Structure 1
């Protein structure tokens, strides 16, 4: 479009573009058809698309949005091409699901693997670094499972879909608090185990009598805090 053809008060162009008013009816019809095609596509892709999305499912969803928008709005683009694109997206996703179902290696390459974030009440720092996840993110995930401190956790896994799976310990031991640092009122109300201390970095628990300002035996951190009583 040429510069001299642009006017701020040209509301017809702003609202309709260069299409005639009659194209509004065509847009309505196109939208209904593409909407129905999207519903069918979503149904064919399976129940996982209604739950939390994996990386490939998110990519398909974005692709569907791009494929659906063009035939709905562009008068020089036919609907058949958009529907064909939706069909290709279905075939690609189903083919990828079949490959990952048959091959564990392909599944790990495509979706990633489950990572252990907490083991016996201690944060797994190497896995946290590898998966680029922070301590606060882990604590937030644990709080959704009504965990109060790390001593209650036997195992905590970061699933490939980004959720946390938590297995609680049958016999909880003292552990590092997972409450937000700014909530001083709740921290003061927590029952403290005065015979143990917790590493601020990994949550390793040691007896205070054996501490003597030494570094954490698990991560070599030298900063300690109180341990929450089991």
Structure 2
């Protein structure tokens, strides 16, 4: 219909286009063929390809979706051409998966490395930036794991597939930066450097804990780890410990 005047809201053009009505039956056949071919190819990729979306699997999904769409309803796209493209995409995925298993450098290049976000209750702000996560994003995921303050956390790793691996203190968690209630609803009270505070305080930027001296009190210094000057009272959260121990 290129070059011809378009009649707005023409039902025949809107629903059938330039193809005869019998082409609808061909679309059904094309869709069934491509669907069955995709089912077979996804079966070939193995269960690992269906369990998670690493960068390699995400590229495969995008490529398969792009290659499978056109032959469903474009009569000028032959089915064999599309099936060849889909087969080549899955074949490349199998070849790269083989290289990932056999060569650690290839695995690192394609899937990246885990990023350590928390160690012994303290944050790594640069690692959060590298993982493209904010502190609020991290705290939200930790709260799902039942964490109420960072002293309960031994290690947190941001894995290649985007999930978090969280290792908690088994018992007797030291004081740490509170992450409950959620910061976006009720931020913890802040104390600036120079104030006189009794009890442990945690840096609101990196989570480092400072055990203040007993009276007579001394002014709070800047954080010795990140040089920031904002603190908040740290908590040991005995309620969280009882919950994890099953009491």
After alignment, is 64-73 or 206-215 more displaced? Answer: 206-215
Q: Normalization by structure 2: what TM-score?
A: 0.85
Residue 197 of structure 1: SS of its match in structure 2?
strand
Partner of residue 161, structure 1: 161
**Alignment-derived partner of residue 133 in structure 1:** 133
Q: 1:73-118 deviations in whole A, cap 9, x for unaligned?
A: 1111111111111110111001111111111111111111011000
The answer to which structure has the higher helix fraction is: 1
In structure 2, list runs of 5 or more residues that go unmatched. Answer: 190-197, 238-247
Q: Is the 8 A contact 2:199 2:233 kept in 1?
A: no
**1:217 and 2:218 aligned:** no
Give me the whole-angstrom Cα distance separating, in 2, the residues matched to 1:80 and 1:177: 60
Hey, which bits of structure 1, 4+ residues long, moved more than 3 A?
1-4
Question: Which residue of structure 2 aligns with residue 142 of structure 1?
Answer: 142
Q: Which runs of 5+ in 1 are unaligned?
A: 189-193
Task: Give the equivalent residue in structure 1 for 2:75.
Answer: 75
Distance verdict in 2 for CA 1:145–1:211, change over 3 Å: farther
2:21 alignment counterpart: 21
State the alpha-carbon separation in 2 of the partners of residues 223 and 3 from structure 1. Answer: 68
Paired with 1:178 and 1:220, the residues of 2 have a C-alpha distance of 21
**Superposition map of 1:50-69 within 5 A:** 50-69=50-69
Offset of residue 140 of structure 1 = 1.7
> 1:23-55 CA distances to partner (integer Å, 9 max, x unpaired)?
000000110111111111111111123222011
Equivalent in the alignment of 2:207: 203
Selected match of 2:183 from 181, 184, 189:
181
2 CA distance for matches of 1:211 and 1:229? 22
Distance 1:3 1:143, change over 3 A: farther
Stretch of structure 1 that moved more, 171-180 or 54-63: 171-180
